[in-house]
Amino acid sequence: MGKGITYTAKTPDADGLIHYTDAENAVWRELITRQKQVLPGRACRAFVEALDVLGLPEDRVPQCPEVSAVLRECTGWGVKPVPALIPLDEFFSLLANRMFPAASFIRAPEELDYLEEPDIFHEIFGHTPHLTDSRFAAFTEAYGKTGLAASDADREMLARLYWFTAEFGLIETDEGVRSYGAGICSSPGETRYAVESDEPERVPFDPIEALRTPYRIDIYQPLYFVLESFDQLFDLARSDLPAMIREARRLGDRPPKFPPLPEAKSA
Per-residue model confidence as pLDDT tens digits over 109-126: 988 887 778 899 999 999
The answer to whether residue 152 sits within a structural domain is yes
Contacts of 192 (CB under 8 A, 6+ apart): 38, 42
The answer to whether residue 188 sits within a structural domain is yes
Interior/surface letters 96-119, b for 16+ CB within 10 angstroms, e for the rest? bebbbbbbbbbbbeebeeebebbb
Bridge partners of 99, per DSSP, are: 78
The answer to whether residue 266 sits within a structural domain is no
H/E element, 201? strand 201-204
Q: How do residues 240-254 score in pLDDT, each as one tens digit? A: 999 999 999 999 999
The answer to whether residue 260 sits within a structural domain is no
Catalytic residues: 122, 127, 167, 186
pLDDT at 211 over 80: yes
Residue 3: predicted pLDDT: 47
Q: How do residues 152-208 score in pLDDT, each as one tens digit? A: 999 999 999 999 999 999 999 999 999 999 999 999 999 999 999 999 999 999 999
Q: Tell me which residue of 203, 187, 195 sits closest to 127, measured CA to CA.
A: 187
CATH classification at residue 42: 1.10.800.10
pLDDT at 8 over 90: no
The answer to whether residue 55 sits within a structural domain is yes
Mean pLDDT, to the nearest integer, of 97-115?
92
Q: 130 with 111: CB under 8 angstroms?
A: no
Residue 23: predicted pLDDT: 96
Its domain, for residue 148, covers 22-251
Mean pLDDT, to the nearest integer, of 84-112?
93
The answer to whether residue 50 sits within a structural domain is yes
pLDDT at 2 over 90: no
pLDDT-based confidence at 9, cuts 50/70/90? confident
The answer to whether residue 133 sits within a structural domain is yes
Number of domains the chain contains? 1
Residue 267: predicted pLDDT: 44
For the entire predicted model, the pTM comes to: 0.92
Residue 263: predicted pLDDT: 66
Q: What is the DSSP code (8-state) at residue 238?
A: T
Q: How many CB atoms lie within 10 A of CB 242?
A: 14
Residue 92: predicted pLDDT: 97
The answer to whether residue 14 sits within a structural domain is no
